[in-house]
Each structure stands twice: as C-alpha cells, then as structure tokens.
C-alpha cells in the first residue's frame, strides 16, 4: 500500500469510484453516491490518501454496512422468543396475508358498509378485543408506552398526580423508564413506599385532592425476593374505589392463554383477571405474549375507554391500517384458540422431542464441514419482559469452528443471507432451535455452510 501526503488532486473522483462499485450493490444510486462522497470527505481530512484500490475497498465496506442496516429477515437462533431487537412477535401466514390484502387494496378503514357513510376506525378490533379481554370496552394505540402516556395524561393533566409504588418504577428496555416517560409527558408522579416494600397504607396516605389516578406497573423483566411486600391488585382496587379514583394496571406483556404450562413458579397477569380484580383499565403490548403487531391495547370500563378515544392525543397515537389488519387477525386467532396462527405461542410450546429430531437432521447435514458439532441444551427465554425467572428448555446445535475464532464465526453468520444470530456460551457457538422457525432449518444449514466458505462480503 503506497500512502502519500494528501493533496486535493490525489482524491479520486466520485464518478470513478462509482463506476468501480455501482454494479455490486443493490442500493439506490443517490445513496451510493452520497456514501462515496462521505468516505472521500473523510479521506480529504486525513493527511494521507491510500491507493485507489484501497479507497474502493473502504467505500465497499461503508456500502456493505449501510446495506446491512436495511430492514430484512434474520434467523433468530438466540432462543429468546420475544426479542425486541428482532421485532418481537412474528406473524403467521394468515396474519401476514391479512396485512398484504389490506395494504394492496382500498379498505373500509373508516367507512361503514352498512350505512354507506363514514364509519368508525377500528370498530371491529375494539369490539373483539373487549370480548377477548372480558372487558366492557377496549381500544388500541401505537404501543404500550403510548397507552400509558395517554391514560396518565387523561387522568392527571393539568394538575393532578399519578400515585405509583417506588418498587414499580421499572426500566423496560434500552432507555425506556416508566417513571421518566411519564414525567417527560408532563405527569406529576407521587412515588410511594420503598423499593422493596409498599403497603396499602402507603397508597392511602398519599391520596389527596390532587390525586388523578393510581397506577400499578407489572414488574415485567425482573423479580424481587427477600424482605418484600406489595399489595395485591384487589387491595389497591378496593382503596381506589373507596376514594373514587381510577385504578390502572400496566401489564406489559399481558398473557391471554394462561402461562402456567410454561412457568409453574411464575404467573404472568392476564387482562381479564386483572379487570376482575378491580382494575378500571389495563394496558399491554400487542407484540409481546399477545403475539401480534406493535400496539398498545387498552381495555376496561366503557366510559374511560370512550373518554380516552376523545383525547386529542389519541389521534396522534392511533394505529395505522396495517397494524389494525394484523391485530384483527391475531385477536380472532386468540378468540378461536388457534395457537398455530400465533407463532409466539406456538414456538413456546414446541416439544423438546421435536426440537431434538430437527437437531439430529441438521447435525447430519452439516457433517464434513471444518467444524466440531454437537447437539446441546439451550436455556431460552420468553423475552420481551415476560416470565423473567423462567427458562424455556431447548435444544441447540453447538459449533466450534476449526478455521476461525468463535467471534469471527458469529460475525460470518451475521453476513449470510439471511443473517443468522446465535450466541456464544461454554466455548461454542450455539444455534437455539426453539426460535428458528421450522421452515428455516434448510436456511440454517446453508448459512453455516456459507460461513465456512470464504465468499462472504467483508465486515
């Protein structure tokens, strides 16, 4: 590599670099040109300019990285069923078809086919959701965080407080803290109790003329043990009703079929039972255990749901037609108890025998590659802040590559098409089959084969 002190003259022309790379990338031309310009401007600022070939290699690297950020299917071999990084719940073909049909045709989104006049958006979804949750009424917004903000603002703005236990100021994922999001939305929080212990008395002492509502947040993704106390939902509900205060429960995941078979020692609260226990409203995510699209489902008292729908903010948080199309398919699948149409639930129920049989097939097909392979045990999770104590036993393909490090092997698998993401544990690369959709076994075999060859694009 010859490096020289840079002068303007040494920087290759955009058109020349473009000519060298354009045919190799499936990116729109203006994007390729912009990325070339960015790379060249970095060179312009550095003291030395590499050879033309090295410049082209650098540009190719930048184009590859950008191309890889395009939304695309991946194989989730992590064993975490509801993985926020991988889009949480996947859709069954029927749900995907419903989205495709609604998106490629006009629809009766806000048109009443009975009267021929303007109709109510989401009427079908809302009615069926209410039936499913055993609620008087239900509605949907963009996600559960939006549902929480909508509800809290409705009851607390302009000058009221939301009472919440200090043990429930939960952080959900990267940078999403319930307390902060409510405060940023202009809500005054009245925190009660201690991190590990909150009693009904703590709630009752905090109630004043300024109280707007009491909020209970399900500790989705963690659990507390030891010197802990928190009142049951019924007890808070009784207090709230005596004081004529709305009582709202953020369930996070919201189990519809019970989860006892997945986790004997842990209980994921269900919307219906929480409403029965006295909550006026519950909210939960559409794409966690519910197994549908990103959405925030709100269910409960009719007059509260109706008031929420009249909030100007509701308009800003409403779901689009694609979301509604996916939701209605998912809700109906729940109502029909058709688990096969809700992959998130189906994946959690696959037996280990079935996974073992698939592992044996994949194992046999990978023989002869420069790898040490064995069939191992997986300790998958539900994910999405659901049943955090429970491990979902699984079956893995454990690989030790012969020609490269585990990190390099993982990186190669991320560069296959589609990319495969597993994890490294006990000195091997593990592919957990619980989250590999069964029709993807061939794709897994191909991915591992191509990770063993040298034809992948560079990092």
Beta bridge partners of 80: 381
Q: Minimum CB separation from ligand PLP for residue 281, in Å?
A: 14
- Please say which residue, 299 or 433, places its beta carbon nearer to ligand PLP: 299
CA 311 to chain centre: 27
- Please say which residue, 179 or 385, places its beta carbon nearer to ligand PLP: 385
50: DSSP letter = -
Q: Minimum CB separation from ligand PLP for residue 149, in Å?
A: 10
- Please say which residue, 81 or 355, places its beta carbon nearer to ligand PLP: 81
- Please say which residue, 173 or 186, places its beta carbon nearer to ligand PLP: 173
Q: Minimum CB separation from ligand PLP for residue 220, in Å?
A: 3
CB atoms within 10 A of CB 61: 14
CA distance from start to end of the chain: 20
Rounded Cα–Cα distance for residues 386 and 254 (Å): 9
With tokens 């939902």, the residue in question is 233
Rounded Cα–Cα distance for residues 344 and 434 (Å): 11
- Please say which residue, 66 or 177, places its beta carbon nearer to ligand PLP: 177
- Please say which residue, 55 or 170, places its beta carbon nearer to ligand PLP: 170
Using DSSP's 3-state secondary structure scheme, residue 117 falls into strand
Q: Are 45 and 26 a contacting pair, CB within 8 Å?
A: no
Listed in order, strand segments (DSSP E) in 6-54 are: 48-49
C-alpha distances out from residue 392 to 216, 223, 265, 277, Å: 27, 17, 13, 29
What is the pairing mode between strands 392-401 and 371-383? antiparallel
Rounded Cα–Cα distance for residues 4 and 128 (Å): 70
Evaluate the CA torsion angle 122, 123, 124, 130 in order and state its sign: positive
Q: Minimum CB separation from ligand PLP for residue 79, in Å?
A: 19
Q: Minimum CB separation from ligand PLP for residue 217, in Å?
A: 5
Rounded Cα–Cα distance for residues 102 and 72 (Å): 21
Rounded Cα–Cα distance for residues 26 and 32 (Å): 9
Q: Minimum CB separation from ligand PLP for residue 320, in Å?
A: 15
- Please say which residue, 154 or 218, places its beta carbon nearer to ligand PLP: 218
Q: Minimum CB separation from ligand PLP for residue 356, in Å?
A: 32
φ and ψ of 176, to 5 deg: -115, 105
Q: Minimum CB separation from ligand PLP for residue 215, in Å?
A: 11
Is the backbone peptide bond immediately before 436 cis, with ω within 30 degrees of 0? no
* Residue numbers at the binding site for ligand PLP (CB under 6 A): 143-145, 170, 172, 217-218, 220, 250, 252-253, 285, 296, 385
- Please say which residue, 246 or 296, places its beta carbon nearer to ligand PLP: 296
Q: Minimum CB separation from ligand PLP for residue 306, in Å?
A: 22
Q: Minimum CB separation from ligand PLP for residue 246, in Å?
A: 18
- Please say which residue, 125 or 433, places its beta carbon nearer to ligand PLP: 125
Q: Minimum CB separation from ligand PLP for residue 247, in Å?
A: 16
Rounded Cα–Cα distance for residues 283 and 278 (Å): 14
- Please say which residue, 392 or 395, places its beta carbon nearer to ligand PLP: 392
φ and ψ of 428, to 5 deg: -145, 165
Q: Minimum CB separation from ligand PLP for residue 22, in Å?
A: 40
Using DSSP's 3-state secondary structure scheme, residue 57 falls into helix
Q: Which residues contact 449 (CB under 8 A, 6 or more apart)?
A: 366, 369
- Please say which residue, 278 or 385, places its beta carbon nearer to ligand PLP: 385
Of the candidates 349, 324, 268, the one whose C-alpha atom is nearest the C-alpha of residue 81 is 349
- Triad 134, 139, 145: Cα angle to 5°: 110
Rounded Cα–Cα distance for residues 249 and 280 (Å): 8
Q: Closest residue to ligand PLP, Cβ-based?
A: 252
- Please say which residue, 170 or 305, places its beta carbon nearer to ligand PLP: 170
């Amino acid at each position: 590599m010859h490096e020289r002190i840079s002068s303007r003259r040494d920087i290759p022309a955009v058109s020349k670099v473009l000519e060298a790379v354009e045919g190799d990338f499936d990116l729109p031309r203006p994007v390729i040109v912009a990325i070339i310009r960015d790379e060249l401007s970095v060179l312009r600022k550095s003291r030395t300019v590499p050879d033309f070939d090295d410049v082209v290699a650098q540009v190719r690297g930048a184009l590859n990285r950008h191309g890889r950020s395009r939304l695309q299917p991946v194989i989730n071999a992590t064993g975490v069923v509801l993985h926020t990084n991988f889009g949480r719940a996947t859709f069954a073909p029927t749900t995907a078809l419903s989205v495709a049909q609604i998106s490629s045709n006009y629809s009766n989104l806000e048109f009443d086919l009975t009267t021929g006049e303007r109709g109510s958006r989401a009427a079908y979804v809302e009615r069926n959701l209410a039936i499913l949750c055993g609620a008087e009424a239900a509605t949907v917004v963009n996600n559960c965080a939006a549902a929480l903000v909508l509800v809290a603002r409705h009851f607390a703005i302009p000058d009221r407080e939301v009472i919440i236990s200090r043990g429930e100021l939960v952080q959900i994922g990267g940078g999403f803290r319930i307390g902060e999001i409510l405060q940023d939305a202009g809500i005054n929080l009245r925190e009660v109790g201690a991190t590990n212990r909150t009693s009904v008395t703590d709630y009752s002492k905090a109630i004043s003329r300024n109280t707007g509502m009491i909020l209970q947040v399900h500790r989705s993704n963690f659990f507390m043990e030891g010197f802990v106390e928190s009142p049951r939902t019924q007890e808070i509900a009784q207090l709230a009703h005596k004081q004529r205060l709305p009582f709202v429960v953020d369930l996070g995941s919201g189990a519809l079929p019970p989860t006892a078979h997945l986790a004997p020692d842990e209980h994921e609260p269900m919307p219906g039972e929480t409403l029965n226990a006295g909550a006026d409203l519950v909210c939960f995510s559409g794409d966690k255990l519910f197994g549908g699209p990103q959405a925030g489902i709100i269910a409960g008292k009719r007059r509260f749901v109706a008031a929420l729908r009249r909030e100007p903010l509701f308009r800003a948080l409403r779901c689009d037609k694609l979301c509604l199309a996916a939701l209605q398919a998912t809700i109906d699948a729940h109502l029909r108890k058709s688990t096969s149409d809700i992959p998130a639930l189906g994946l959690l129920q696959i037996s280990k025998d079935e996974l073992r049989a698939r592992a044996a097939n994949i194992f046999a097909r990978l023989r002869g590659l420069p790898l040490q392979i064995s069939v191992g045990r997986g300790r998958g999770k539900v994910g999405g802040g659901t049943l955090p104590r429970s491990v979902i036993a699984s079956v893995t393909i454990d690989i030790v590559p012969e020609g490269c490090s585990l990190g390099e092997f993982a990186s190669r698998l991320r560069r296959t098409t589609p990319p495969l993401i597993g994890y490294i544990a006990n000195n091997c690369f593990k592919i957990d089959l619980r989250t590999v959709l069964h029709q993807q076994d061939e794709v897994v075999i191909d991915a591992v084969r191509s990770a063993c060859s040298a034809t992948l694009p560079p990092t």
